[in-house]
Amino acid sequence: MLKIHLIKAFQDNYIWCIEDTTSHDCIVVDPGDSSPVKNYLDKNKLTLKGILITHHHFDHTGGINSLTEAAPIDVYGPENPKITSITHPLKNNDQITLLGTRFLIKEVPGHTLDHIAFYSEKDTSHKDSWLFCGDTLFSAGCGRLFEGTPSQMLNSLKTLINFPHETEVYCTHEYTLANLSFAKAVLPNSEETNTYFNHCQQKITEGFSTIPTTIKTELSINPFLNCTKNELVHAVCKHSNSTDNSELAIFTALRSWKDNF
- Encode pLDDT of 150-165 as tens digits: 999 999 999 999 999 9
As a whole number, mean pLDDT of residues 116-124 equals 95
Q: Which CATH architecture has domain 2-222?
A: 4-Layer Sandwich (3.60)
Phi-psi map region of 19: left, alpha, beta (phi>0 left; psi -120 to 50 alpha): beta
Q: Catalogue the E-assigned strands of the chain.
A: 2-9, 13-20, 25-29, 47-52, 74-78, 88-90, 95-98, 101-107, 116-120, 130-134, 137-138, 141-142, 168-171, 213-214
Q: Mean pLDDT in the chain?
A: 97
The Cβ of residue 154 has, within 10 Å, a number of other Cβ atoms equal to 22
What confidence tens digit (pLDDT) does each residue in 172-190 have?
999 999 999 999 999 999 9
Return the pLDDT at 50. Answer: 97
As a whole number, mean pLDDT of residues 112-124 equals 96
Listed by start position, the domains of the chain span 2-222, 227-261
Return the pLDDT at 71. Answer: 85
What confidence tens digit (pLDDT) does each residue in 207-247 have?
999 999 999 999 999 999 999 999 999 999 999 999 999 99
Q: Kindly report each contact of residues 181-185 with a partner whose C-beta sits within 8 Å and lies 24 or more positions away, as own/partner.
A: 182/140, 182/141, 182/223, 182/257, 182/258, 182/261, 183/140, 183/141, 183/221, 183/222, 183/223, 185/261
The Cβ of residue 205 has, within 10 Å, a number of other Cβ atoms equal to 8
